[in-house]
Structure 1
Amino acid sequence: MADAERPDWKDTLADLKLRRERSYAMGGPERLAKHRGAGRLDARARIDALLDPGSFREIGTLVGGDVPADGIVTGSGEIDGTPVMVGAEDFTTMAGTIGTGSNSKRHRIAELALRNRIPLVMLLEGAGFRPGKHGGGRAPIDLIAQARCSGIVPTVAAILGPSAGHGALVAPVCDFRIMTAGAAIFTAGPPVVKESTGEDISKEDLGGPDVAISSGVIHNVAPDDEAALADIRRYLSYFPPTSWSYPPTRPADASTGPRSTPELLDIIPRDNRRVYDIRKVIDVVFDDPDWFEVQPGFGRGIVCALAHLGGHPVAVVANQPMVMAGSIDADAADKAAHFIMVADSFHLPIVFLSDNPGMLPGSRSERSGVLRAGARMFAAQTMASTLKLHLTLRKAYGFGSMVMSLLGFDDQVATFGYPGSTLGAMSAAALTRAAKVDAEASEKLHEAETQASFRSAAKLSFDELIDPRETRDALLTTLVRAMHSRAVPAEPVTRTAILP
């Protein structure tokens, strides 16, 4: 008998269909139209844009009863064929607030991400816990499950509208956080702030992109929903689904092979006092210029990027001479420390490109905790058990060289330098001023500084001094050699150090 000819199932299936349709309707036509009229996708459209077509499988559709999906759409799907768990807060349903059922759904998808060893993506636009639905002592069960995902599966959050309270806490727990230009994230929204403190402030000034980026809460900003979701897909393409596996390798093509890099002779000035854009070096050295920068608006003295070298995903930590001559301030060190730990957790090789005069000095820098942040970055990089490659381009002084993994025999698979690169506790000019030496002694200090790279090479502090035109080939050859260590299965990283 055909499905349509089973009368005993007819009423039951009709009831299921009706209940599902109520959930699919979300906040109803008027609220959906208002939401879309503001230039934002609704929760289900966001999931469709994020995932491979037709791959979404919803769970918890009927949770909430008369509150469609209880304000959050959850389930699984695929991104470029890789399974992921996803949750999307539905602002058209009770402002995306969290009820008892939706809290359980949030916990469930995090639990399944960890159990199935697949990434977790949270799309946020909600007002925190629903009044009267806090749930007592079990309120944060979703965040507990999410925190357990850390370092085991990649976690990503997108803030696609106003996000406040408990829901907003999801973002900083994630590895990567992105928001749209019109979104905002805060502990509590403007009405609560006004009631609690008397401060009258807009949501943009309270937690808009400028605030979220400058505070380091958010990594990247996208112009709209579609761009943010596309960036999540790009970001995840560099990572394995879990720390129990290695990152995916691109098929070999013309971009993945060896090649000379003569362009670097024009990009990198020989004079240490002249600036250049390290992004142009990254464009030339790695497979193609279509690499992904993480947190470009924060700690701009260091560029953190995801790229490919020989088809292999790598993390790049590079000093930026265009900003404070490449000096490392507290924000840059904090940014790099987090990036290094994420890369290490998921077995991405880390390439350090060093060109800095040291940690940023001065009273303002000291008040910002530059030593603590620098120590945190140093601990992160020296704890990293993934493959580490280092290249000193022009200069590396003091603690600035150590946080950039220059120290020899610190588990690097390669330590390279350009001839003429200057090294030491501080520059010859700074040492001249500090020691108040005469002109003859100053000249000797300067001469010793210019010969430092050759003295270091003579002691094997560098594996090799290389011609800038050999940069890509030196890094690529070393990486390919080091990949042989991956004959053993991947495992989660175990860390024992307490970060400063």
Structure 2
Amino acid sequence: MTNAQTWDETLDDLGRRRALAQAMGGPERVAKHRGKGKLDARARIERLLDPGTFQEFGTLVGGEVPADAIVTGSGLINGSPVMVGAEDFTTLAGTIAPGSNSKRYRLAELAVRNKVPLVMLLEGAGFRPTGAHYGRTPTDLLAQAQCSGRIPMVTGVLGPSAGHGALIAPVSDFAIMSRQGAIFTAGPPVVKMSTGEDVTKEDLGGPNVALPSGVVHNVGETDEEVLDEIRRYLSYFPSSAWSYPPVYLPDDSTGARATPELLNIVSRDNRSTYDMRAVLDVVFDDTDWFEVQPEFGTAIVCALAHLGGHPVAVVANQPKVLAGSIDSDAADKAAHFIQVADSFHLPIIFLADNPGMLPGSESEAEGVLRSGARMFVAQTAATTLKLHVTLRKAYGFGSMVMSLIGFDSQTATFAYPGATMGAMSAAALSNASHAQDDLAAELQEMELQASYHSAEHMGFDELIRPEETRNALLVSLQRGIYARQAVPEPVYRTAIIP
């Protein structure tokens, strides 16, 4: 008998155990799962990662419970390493036991230790009712909290996700769900027992609930679309806060060019509306930019784009919604987006066109001042490059949250001629002060001259024509990038976010 033959029995046993884990809940349960138009946990990982790059760990955790209901390991996305975990709903409904909890902890621990992104794919029923006491078993959320601001964290919700497992989504930088996804503190049976309310999982935490509430950022129609969008989102980010975002090699789309199209998109009349998304299409390298939370806080557009091949974060008022007035949801969305961008050194470009924060009793009841303060602190505390353009107007606190404050560490500030600013618009001031017609006309004229008065006192670096928008931003960004003459590190935050 050769030395190799003495291994046969041992390796056969290992192969049997691995096969058990890889079979997940068994052929019938996997087929039933796939019959609902979903991918199983292992197929989701295969779709997410570059082909053939997955390396699993913790395969034998759980013993006879395959992989203890969560598949964990590492792989590559667009050639860069990531850590990934996928709950296996075909095995005990993807529930969490002490072993799988340790796998989750190890997954996040390795992600921050190795300085690579963490992706979690959720479809599970929370803690497993085993009767076992968890004691001082390290909870995965402790490690995930340590990841925040240090590595990109992304969550995909691809089915019902409840309880402890669901908490990773709001902890993440970015969460996206499929149309079959649902996320909630507790599922319908627990809700029925606790409150007597009869509710479906869709009505409890499906896309029609999770998107308007802001718990989840984006939605994809299918598992495949969600996984492709996660790959696309991560392409804008560095592997960690210890590195800078990837830069695309220059080509015809990344160079200088005039933007005369903006003359037809942005009306000089402040009372006319337009779609800010059309401005982004013209200004940035291509129209394939990535919008974050398009169905929440729609008065502000938050997007990831490229300018000169550099990934940038865009915060732009949306004149089509509330005339660009900033409400509580829009400010909360922007505050979180700004912090994520700042954490990973993405330059932030502010495109301002708003009449201020949204006034009114309903807006005040929703805490618009607190949300506005949150956005203001996030933007003024940001340490990354900041660039600003006022397209037509920016009034009161609505200008300050959009980084329109003199010498607020901006790399560049621009405005179009005729842009209006101040405490409030001339029309609002006329009404508030009960001005006569001649005074109202004088206020209107002062408003129209405001951009020149501001330029005379360095309120902006320069007044620019709309056709010059892309090039002004591009040159300023290319100059600002030279500030990166030291090794990047995680952002140290001292401000307490309101």
Q: Aligned-pair distance for 1:139?
A: 5.7
Indicate the residue corresponding to 1:416 in structure 2: 414
Partner residue of 1:185 out of 180, 183, 186: 183
Q: Tell me the SS of whatever aligns to 1:447.
A: helix
Cα distance in structure 1, aligned partners of 2:335 and 2:7: 58
Q: Which amino acid aligns with 1:110?
A: A
Indicate the residue corresponding to 1:261 in structure 2: 259
Indicate the residue corresponding to 1:429 in structure 2: 427
Q: How many residue pairs get matched?
A: 498
Q: Aligned-pair distance for 1:133?
A: 5.5
Cα distance in structure 2, aligned partners of 1:35 and 1:411: 52
Within 5 Å, give how 1:160-199 maps onto structure 2.
160-199=158-197
Indicate the residue corresponding to 2:326 in structure 1: 328
Cα distance in structure 1, aligned partners of 2:383 and 2:61: 43
Cα distance in structure 2, aligned partners of 1:281 and 1:181: 30
Cα distance in structure 1, aligned partners of 2:107 and 2:25: 22
Partner residue of 1:361 out of 359, 362, 366: 359
Indicate the residue corresponding to 1:283 in structure 2: 281
Work out whether 1:95 is the aligned partner of 2:109. Answer: no
Work out whether 1:406 is the aligned partner of 2:404. Answer: yes
After superposing on structure 2, the runs of 4+ consecutive aligned residues of structure 1 that deviate more than 4 Å are: none
8 Å Cα contact 1:99-1:133 kept in structure 2: no
Partner residue of 1:271 out of 266, 269, 272: 269
Q: Tell me the SS of whatever aligns to 2:269.
A: coil
Q: Aligned-pair distance for 1:488?
A: 1.1
Cα distance in structure 2, aligned partners of 1:245 and 1:363: 45
Q: Aligned-pair distance for 1:5?
A: 7.5
Indicate the residue corresponding to 2:54 in structure 1: 56
8 Å Cα contact 2:338-2:382 kept in structure 1: yes
Q: Which amino acid aligns with 2:365?
A: R
Within 5 Å, give how 1:468-479 maps onto structure 2.
468-479=466-477
Cα distance in structure 2, aligned partners of 1:179 and 1:369: 28
**Root mean square deviation, CA, Å:** 1.0
Within 5 Å, give how 1:6-25 maps onto structure 2.
6-25=4-23
Cα distance in structure 1, aligned partners of 2:11 and 2:254: 54
Q: Percent identity?
A: 70
Q: Tell me the SS of whatever aligns to 1:307.
A: strand
Q: Which amino acid aligns with 1:153?
A: I
Cα distance in structure 1, aligned partners of 2:483 and 2:55: 38
Cα distance in structure 2, aligned partners of 1:397 and 1:6: 78
Judge which range, 113-122 or 131-140, deviates more: 131-140
8 Å Cα contact 1:68-1:93 kept in structure 2: yes
Superposition TM-score, scaled by structure 2 size: 0.99
Q: Which amino acid aligns with 2:344?
A: F
Q: Aligned-pair distance for 1:487?
A: 1.6
Cα distance in structure 1, aligned partners of 2:328 and 2:494: 23
Indicate the residue corresponding to 1:484 in structure 2: 482
Within 5 Å, give how 1:34-433 maps onto structure 2.
34-132=32-130, 135-138=133-136, 141-433=139-431
Q: Which amino acid aligns with 2:388?
A: H
Q: Aligned-pair distance for 1:227?
A: 0.2
Q: Aligned-pair distance for 1:280?
A: 0.3
Deviations 1:98-130 (A, max 9, x none): 011100000001000000000000000000000
Cα distance in structure 1, aligned partners of 2:194 and 2:58: 36
Q: Which amino acid aligns with 1:75?
A: G
**Residues 213/425 of structure 1: CA separation in 2 closer, same or farther (3 Å cut):** same
8 Å Cα contact 1:417-1:465 kept in structure 2: yes
Deviations 1:441-494 (A, max 9, x none): 101100000000000000011000000000000000000000100121111100
8 Å Cα contact 1:345-1:492 kept in structure 2: yes
* Unpaired runs of at least 5, structure 1: none
Q: Which amino acid aligns with 1:467?
A: R
Q: Which amino acid aligns with 2:182?
A: A
Cα distance in structure 1, aligned partners of 2:442 and 2:354: 22
8 Å Cα contact 1:98-1:133 kept in structure 2: no
Q: Aligned-pair distance for 1:338?
A: 0.1
8 Å Cα contact 1:300-1:320 kept in structure 2: yes
8 Å Cα contact 2:94-2:125 kept in structure 1: yes
Q: Aligned-pair distance for 1:63?
A: 0.3
Q: Aligned-pair distance for 1:132?
A: 2.4
Cα distance in structure 2, aligned partners of 1:206 and 1:448: 52
8 Å Cα contact 1:100-1:133 kept in structure 2: no
Cα distance in structure 2, aligned partners of 1:334 and 1:35: 37
Q: Tell me the SS of whatever aligns to 1:124.
A: strand
Cα distance in structure 2, aligned partners of 1:211 and 1:460: 46
Cα distance in structure 2, aligned partners of 1:5 and 1:383: 64
Cα distance in structure 1, aligned partners of 2:174 and 2:206: 17
Q: Aligned-pair distance for 1:138?
A: 3.5
8 Å Cα contact 1:96-1:125 kept in structure 2: yes
Cα distance in structure 2, aligned partners of 1:486 and 1:121: 28
